Amino acid sequence: MFFAMISMCLPLGAQWQRFNRQPWEKGAFETRQYRNLFVEMGYSPKAVEDKLKEVFDDVFRGPNKVYFEVGDSLGYVSDIKNHDVRTEGMSYGMMIAVQMDEKDIFDRLWRWSKKYMQHKSGPREGYFAWSCKTDGTHNAEGAASDGELYFVTSLIFASNRWGDDTGIDYKKEAKYILDCSMAKDGTDGQMPLIHPDYQLITFTPDRMGSRFTDPSYHIPAFYEVWARWADDGRADYWRQAAQKAREFLHKAIHPETGLNPDLCLYDGSIMSNPWMNRSGGANFRYDSWRVPMNIALDYEWCCEDKEWQRQYGERIQNFLFSQGINDFVDQYRVDGSLPEENEILPAGGFKKLRHSIGLVATSAAASVMCGHEKKRDFVKALWEMPHQPFDDGYFDAYYDGLLRLFAFMHLSGHYRIVFPNPLRVLSVGNVSMTIDTGAGGRIVSFKHNGREMLSQLTMPESFGSTFWTSPQKEWNWPPVPEIDKYPYEVTEEGNSLVLTSAVAEKLGLRVKKLFQTDPKTNSVVVEYQIVNADKVAHSVAPWEITRVPHGGLIFFDAPMEGITPAGLMPFVAEHGLVWLAPDVTNENRKVNADGKGWLAYLCNGLVMLKQFDDLTPGQPAPGEAEIQVYVNRGKTYIELESQGEYVKLQPGEMLSWKVRWSLFECDSPEPSKKLAKTIRKKVAHK
């Protein structure tokens, strides 16, 4: 299901952005927008879709998969080269599954984790044995704190995406882990995941492992998720933990190379331990690879530490680039020098420095933070690098494969915050309207007995119905994001669903949308309000843009000579109305018309009628019109547009404009006297 819809999820307008655009100023918690660097770089959305599916299948379904199903309800992710199941891989698999809307995979992984790995009682209650055999037998009893970190976050996301009434109470399971952790105080050697003195994550939540930490475990964005949706009464604590984690990363990362140690103390310093120095524990190696990707995630979602994060992203890419974009190895001392033989950490029976795809992946993911042109080389290197065995036979389908998949999710804009369901559905009689409150309050569906009228194309700016302010010359292109794309605040006022935008920085205006059903006419009335939140006056008009599939019949009440530019589209005048069955050309076309307060579209046996204020010729904004029709080149989609009166708003003033949406069946596929009469009757009785 996910892959059939993936290109619809691409960031609106991303395909028309230059690759050298600068990183964003706001995070997805505020904007719900994500960059697709592959598309920005020139890869087609279809190619990106296919590539992400290929990488996903490599991990979960292909011949080198690391995911295995057990019976009817269980499944596990295995570190093949080490012949075990780890909380790292299980929780990573769950995060990927919830991101990809793969509920069956998620539930199987969680059931296996809960059945075999989670301690049900005793000092470790709530924690998970970090390593098990594939039959569930424990190789170790203790927990590794990063596993719990991912378990909690992925469970919260599952609750937001699927709810808690489909067989697993995801939110309850997440809270249980957190409550068990926070209740531990050192008794019997067990500690909280987050060290109580430093408010930073432990390496392992026990007396020994809580003395130090692993920089790759610090993911501030996850704590921001907990603060919003864990519902455990610790929101302020988790927000503080996020800030502490950001401050820690500043200290733990080398100021010149951008490299970080595998393990360190809570102040970011290397532990004074001869064993650590001899064995390379103070070096940048396997765990360390995750840090660029973790910091990129915090940047994408939160943007709270953007200045430092941008500098960090370029710093580590600059270092790796200096080693050769196709040659940098996977282990270094933090000063950038190569480790001695005794410091190299072996993997899978091999002890060798390699140009590993896992580090290629995470360093490419850092590109979302970077403004320099080198990011292009990192993204290209990831796209082109095959995941296959090295010449000596070494192959890591597990760790390299998972990091590769995470990086492709990052760079395609699909490692996302899973908000609680943003869709609101209004139903009246046999008509339903669906509004996406998390994406500009856009009307994404308008159905009659389940039959869709609006365009459902997956390309940006080609589906659903949106709202802009007029005239367009005030903002040019792209549409103002606070009004067109960003989340709206949702409230109820009486029997109305009310959505409120943030103030548009570029315009000083705020938009409210009030949706109300009318049972008498089986219609939905949408009231648009534009509020001047600025300190100066603004002249503005309301503008609704509704996209419908090509292939239908547009009609409204207007004189032919009032449609401009004349002759641009093949309108005909019949039965007192003007009609247009759009043809197909290689050019985008748009006309203006002075109508009579309504606009209709007939397609596939349904008529959509939109009614609004009838304007005199001088009332629309300069260069605009009461009715506008835009036909996209080729045979793709049509925009049916209507505008209200252009007025001057003083600071604090508001204008209001209503559009009534109706949808009914019609058995005539062409202009007819009967259809004209039906429409006139409905317009007269609105």
Instruction: Give the whole-angstrom CA distance, residue 320 versus residue 360.
Output: 10
567: DSSP letter? T
Classify residue 332 as left (phi > 0), alpha (psi -120 to 50) or beta: beta
Residue 116 has which token pair? 């075999």
Q: Which residue, 316, 156, 317, 289, is CA-closest to 221?
A: 156
Instruction: Give the whole-angstrom CA distance, residue 75 versus residue 60.
Output: 11
At residue 48's C-alpha, the angle toward residues 47 and 50, to 5°, is 65
Q: Which residues carry out catalysis?
A: 88, 287
DSSP string, 614-631: PPPTTSSPTT--SEEEEE
CA end-to-end span of the chain, whole Å?
40
Per-residue exposure over 341-373, b if at least 16 CB sit within 10 Å of its own CB, e if not = eebbbebeeeeeebbbbbbbbbbbbbbbbbeee
Instruction: Give the whole-angstrom CA distance, residue 409 versus residue 361.
Output: 11
Residue 561 · residue 591 · CB < 8 Å? no
Distances in Å between the alpha carbon of 185 and those of 125, 179, 188, 257?
A: 13, 12, 9, 38
Instruction: Give the whole-angstrom CA distance, residue 237 versus residue 306.
Output: 22
Where helices occur in 220-271 by DSSP H, the ranges are 220-229, 235-252
Instruction: Give the whole-angstrom CA distance, residue 361 versus residue 408.
Output: 8
* C-beta atoms surrounding 383 within 10 Å: 16
Quote the longest CA-to-CA distance of the chain: 93
Identify the residue whose tokens are 């796209």.
383
Instruction: Give the whole-angstrom CA distance, residue 530 versus residue 548.
Output: 25
Helix/strand/coil for 434? strand
Instruction: Give the whole-angstrom CA distance, residue 240 versus residue 495.
Output: 39
DSSP string, 94-137: HHHHHHTT-HHHHHHHHHHIIIIIB--SSTTTT-B-SEE-TTS-
Q: Which residue, 510, 501, 507, 511, is CA-closest to 536?
A: 507
